């Protein structure tokens, strides 16, 4: 199973769920974007580069492959959390915004597009989940106004 047919299609499909934050200058030769959003610094594998986006304010679709995704029981506290694990993994809790085929958009301090190669739980928008992703997170940088990539 594939999660995307092209970086352009994926970026366009999830542009409405891009996180707003700040991109920092890339280290020469590094495939990672340093992106600050939601009070966290995320290191994202650059899917639109290299060197395609200038440092500064940016909108980025943050995409992760889930290792664990579970619906929170009704009695669990409903507070968004996001913790960086290692260089480029995350875990947290958030509210489901949209559900696709093996894909869930979750808001956990920032919007995240989470996906799985295996069948995941049957979730609905509005439900709360706990998750953990495998590194690396992927970043799809959008343009300033139209959602097109910087180039």
Q: How does pLDDT run across 1-50, given as a tens digit for each residue?
A: 556 678 888 999 999 999 999 999 877 777 889 999 999 999 999 988 76
pLDDT of 3: 65
* pTM listed for this prediction: 0.90
Neighbours of 45 (CB within 10 A): 15
Q: What separation in angstroms does the CA of 4 have from each of 18, 94, 113, 129, 149?
A: 16, 23, 12, 23, 17
What does the pLDDT read at residue 47?
87
| Model confidence pLDDT, tens digit, residues 99-148 | 998 999 999 999 999 999 988 899 999 999 999 999 999 999 997 554 44
How high is the pLDDT of residue 1?
54
Largest CA distance in the chain: 48
SS3 111: strand
pLDDT at 15: 96
Q: Residue 119: its pLDDT value, please?
A: 85
What was the pLDDT predicted at 146? 45
User: Per-residue pLDDT tens for 54-106?
Assistant: 899 999 999 999 999 999 998 999 999 999 999 899 999 999 999 998 999 99
Residues shown for the chain: 151
**DSSP assignment, residue 51?**
S
Query: Which secondary-structure segment (H or E) carries 8?
Result: helix 7-13
């Amino acid at each position: 199973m594939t999660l995307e047919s092209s970086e352009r299609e994926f970026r366009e499909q999830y542009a409405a769920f891009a996180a707003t934050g700040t991109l920092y200058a890339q280290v020469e030769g590094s495939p990672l974007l340093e992106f600050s959003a939601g009070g966290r610094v995320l290191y994202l594998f650059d899917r639109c580069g290299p060197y395609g986006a200038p440092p500064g304010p940016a909108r980025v679709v943050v995409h992760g492959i889930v290792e664990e995704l579970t619906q929170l029981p009704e009695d669990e506290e409903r507070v968004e959390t996001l913790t960086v694990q290692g260089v480029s993994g995350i875990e947290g809790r958030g509210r489901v915004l949209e559900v696709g085929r093996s894909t869930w958009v979750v808001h956990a301090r920032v919007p995240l597009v989470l996906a799985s190669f295996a069948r995941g739980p049957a979730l609905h928008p509005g439900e709360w989940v706990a998750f953990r992703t495998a590194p690396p997170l992927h970043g799809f940088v959008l343009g300033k106004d139209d959602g097109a990539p910087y180039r």
